[in-house]
Chain A
Amino acid sequence: MVSDFAPTRFRDPQIDMAHGAGGKASRKLVEGLFAPLLFGAAPGPLGDAAYVDFDGTAVAITTDSFVVKPLSFPGGSIGELAVNGTVNDLAVSGAKAEALVVSYVLEAGLPTPILEGEVRAMAKAARDAGVRIAAGDTKVVEHGKADQMYVTTTGIGRLLHGVNVDPRSVRVGDRILLSGPIGDHGITILLARGELDLEADLRSDTRSVLPLVESLIRAAGPGIRWMRDPTRGGAATSLNELARDCGLGMVLFEDQIPVRDTVRGACELLGLDPLHIANEGQFLAVVSPEYADAAINALCLAPGGSEAQVIGEVREQPAGTVLVTTLYGGSRILDMLVGDPLPRIC
């Protein structure tokens, strides 16, 4: 039988952890295998959510699975992540989450208090984010076949008026905004695993970014070109995807990028780059230059947005690439994350 599906390009012999880390390998898997078979030959840029049209009414839809270890960590837990992650994917796609459905995969032997704690965390996060959990499903697998619990949430959202995000609308001269300090979540998780014998006073940044996105849209809606929440793979990966999708260069000013000292310190020790570290409560936005001041003012005045910054601008060169300019006039290419961030020692 002749297949009428678009040709696949994914040639890796097996699935490795890197394919799930959000960086280059993940992109190869999605673009080389999933997209051609599921979305057809030329699906366009792949965003955080898809738009589906019902008789003239567009809704945004997205889904995300959560497999974090440990289940809870300073500042949050898997339940909160599962709600906020999906709410945020919709928010940066210009939509307000209206309803979530949730699926649990539970490992036999999971203590009930742990499950109850996570379900409570989800209920609270959903209430805080103003979203209803409308339906759910549960599967239990044998002990040892899963790591305590996995949660998948799927959300549908109503499009917010006055904003249209599309990487292809990004222009030279646009400003790149970041809602607050990066790296808190990823470093918190790395330390919470307890394998590194390092301790730091740090909490995950998990939260709904919807209120900040709404403030931004009210102040600068027509100027917003693109938004993304830089989760796995960090800001570096999100901006590389944007650079590729719009064919322009993203130039970042290193001294403008907000990073807490604790995160910087941990990254220096471990040989990691904060720009590659995951976040769960921040977002990036590209805004046209005439709206940049209004945008940054609105973010800074909104609760939880006081550390927002313009961190760079869009230039013609280096096309398709992210360039970081250092304090003293040097520069370096910032690539996507390759595989998981691993501590370097020697």
Chain B
Amino acid sequence: MRFVDEFREPELISKTAEEIRRLAGRDRHYRMMEVCGGHTHAIYRFGLKDILPENIELIHGPGCPVCVLPMGRIDDGLAIAQEPDVIFAAFGDMMRVPGTQGSPLEHKARGVDVRIVYSPSDALKLARLNPEKHVMFFAIGFETTGPSTALTMMRAKAEGIGNFSVFCNHVTIIPAIRAILDSPDMRLDAFIGPGHVSSVIGCRPYEWIAQNERKPIVVSGFEPLDMLQSIVMLLRQLRAGEAKVENQYKRVVPWEGNRAALKAMAEVFQLRPYFEWRGLGFISQSALRINDKYAKFDAEQRFEVPGIRVTDPKAAQCGEVLKGVLKPHQCKLFGRECTPEHPVGALMVSSEGSCAAYHNYEHRKAVTVSLSSIA
């Protein structure tokens, strides 16, 4: 398959893995954070940890928008869904995410009109097809999905569609990285930068990480070879004592980003003063709201939103796992109270969350290894 198989070529992968082993040597330990949930998923799916030397440790970052969404926001969205004649539309990613009264799918089973859409414009299409109903799109995502939400709202406004609104949960990546770096128990050497987010925002917004924090960052693609090559680039910087922003994912990410996409976001959104992140707490200027020009399409302004706040269970150690202080399986709830079928904490919710990825792909492997090493 074109554009995929080239980046999964076994020979190139083993050569690159060899180069990583050579560069990493044995004299020190490297802690690299992959910011994006897509990278976390790829690491487990392709079994990349198995081919990396032991002294390279990958820490899974906050870049899974489903995982970091506080449960109260889901409750708020589902409260609107239960208003008369409302269709709740969201990406498949959201469907199993639990609110206090159950997930969107569970609400659907109880008769709430919940639809899975593949893009915000499909939600707008639903609104056109169901003029007697109100379609609310539950928007999530970083700058990756923000532009398509914005463009859809611009189209809704241009067409004068009155029965469509957006419940906006869009977040921005830079403040999350900053929160992680500001955390006192954080020890990181370098970042594997998000690929799809960067296709919108470009590489410039990361420059402070290199210049002020002296941490190398390489924006990376999602195929095995992309990720290994990014690790090579990071190791070269670290060995040379450098800290630069580099772009491995040039086939998708322009250095300056996508101006048209950024313009659409600026047209529709403005920064919220602060927003709560599951596992990380309140982060200032880290999320987007719909600006006054588009108030008509803002579900938070059109409907009574209960504004529910649900605190994560104390025993869940999502924050520590997010910051790389704990490995997923070191959390007290992992695999017992907290599983992909019944997630307690944020990171177990989406398959891109580090706990779910670890549970699905890695957990029992580790159990097997430890059992055999005892025997």
User: Which residues of A come within 8 Å of B, CB atoms?
Assistant: 14-18, 24-25, 195-198, 261, 264-265, 268, 271, 317-319, 321, 323-333, 335, 338-339, 342-346
From A196, A198, A332, A342, B45 is in contact (CB under 8 Å) with: A332
From B4, B10, B91, B116, A268 is in contact (CB under 8 Å) with: B4
Between A and B, 8 residue pairs with Cβ closer than 8 Å are A24-B341, A328-B51, A332-B45, A332-B362, A339-B96, A343-B118, A346-B66, A346-B141
Interface string of B108-130 (1 = CB under 8 A from A): 11100000111100100000000
Q: Verify A14–B109 contact, CB threshold 8 A.
A: yes
Q: Taking A324-B47, A330-B51 as given, write out 9 further A-B residue pairs in contact, using a Cβ cutoff of 8 Å, ordered by the A residue number.
A: A317-B368, A327-B13, A328-B13, A328-B224, A332-B47, A338-B341, A342-B92, A345-B92, A345-B118
Contacts of B301 on A, CB cut-off 8 Å?
none
- In angstroms, Cα B116 to Cα A344, docked, is 10
From B4, B50, B91, B362, A329 is in contact (CB under 8 Å) with: B50
Return A340 CB to nearest CB of chain B, in Å. 8
- In angstroms, Cα B361 to Cα A332, docked, is 5
Contacts of A325 on B, CB cut-off 8 Å?
47
Contacts of B92 on A, CB cut-off 8 Å?
342-345
Return B290 CB to nearest CB of chain A, in Å. 18
* Closest chain B residue, CB of each to CB of A14: B109
Known: A25-B341, A343-B92, A344-B91. A332 touches B368 (CB 8 A): no
Q: Verify A321–B340 contact, CB threshold 8 A.
A: no
- In angstroms, Cα B8 to Cα A346, docked, is 22
- In angstroms, Cα B364 to Cα A268, docked, is 25
Return B59 CB to nearest CB of chain A, in Å. 19
* Closest chain A residue, CB of each to CB of B4: A268
User: Which residues of B come within 8 Å of A, CB atoms?
Assistant: 1, 4, 8, 10, 13-14, 17, 44-51, 65-66, 91-93, 95-96, 105-106, 108-110, 116-119, 122, 140-142, 144-145, 224, 340-341, 350-352, 360-365, 367-368, 372
Q: Verify B95–A265 contact, CB threshold 8 A.
A: no
From B91, B363, B367, A345 is in contact (CB under 8 Å) with: B91
- In angstroms, Cα B10 to Cα A319, docked, is 28
* Closest chain A residue, CB of each to CB of B93: A344
Q: Verify A333–B109 contact, CB threshold 8 A.
A: no
- In angstroms, Cα B47 to Cα A25, docked, is 26
Return A299 CB to nearest CB of chain B, in Å. 25
Closest 6 pairs between A and B when the two form their complex, measured CB to CB = A330-B47, A342-B92, A346-B141, A318-B368, A332-B361, A343-B92
Return A25 CB to nearest CB of chain B, in Å. 7
Return A325 CB to nearest CB of chain B, in Å. 7
- In angstroms, Cα B362 to Cα A318, docked, is 11
Contacts of B44 on A, CB cut-off 8 Å?
332
Known: A195-B122, A328-B224. A345 touches B109 (CB 8 A): no
Q: Verify B364–A318 contact, CB threshold 8 A.
A: yes
- In angstroms, Cα B108 to Cα A14, docked, is 12
- In angstroms, Cα B51 to Cα A329, docked, is 7
Contacts of A18 on B, CB cut-off 8 Å?
105
Contacts of B142 on A, CB cut-off 8 Å?
346
* Closest chain A residue, CB of each to CB of B340: A338
Contacts of B91 on A, CB cut-off 8 Å?
343-346
Contacts of B51 on A, CB cut-off 8 Å?
328-330
From B46, B105, B363, B372, A330 is in contact (CB under 8 Å) with: B46
Q: Verify B116–A342 contact, CB threshold 8 A.
A: yes
* Closest chain A residue, CB of each to CB of B358: A333
Contacts of B372 on A, CB cut-off 8 Å?
317
* Closest chain B residue, CB of each to CB of A260: B1
Contacts of A261 on B, CB cut-off 8 Å?
1
Return B223 CB to nearest CB of chain A, in Å. 10
Q: Verify B368–A17 contact, CB threshold 8 A.
A: no
Q: Verify A330–B50 contact, CB threshold 8 A.
A: yes
Q: Verify B368–A321 contact, CB threshold 8 A.
A: yes
- In angstroms, Cα B339 to Cα A25, docked, is 13
- In angstroms, Cα B1 to Cα A261, docked, is 6
* Closest chain A residue, CB of each to CB of B120: A345
Contacts of A344 on B, CB cut-off 8 Å?
91-93, 350-352
Return A319 CB to nearest CB of chain B, in Å. 7
- In angstroms, Cα B340 to Cα A24, docked, is 11
Q: Which of A17, A333, A338 has the most CB of B within 10 A?
A: A333
- In angstroms, Cα B117 to Cα A330, docked, is 34
Q: Verify B10–A327 contact, CB threshold 8 A.
A: yes
Contacts of A271 on B, CB cut-off 8 Å?
351
Return B108 CB to nearest CB of chain A, in Å. 7
* Closest chain B residue, CB of each to CB of A269: B118
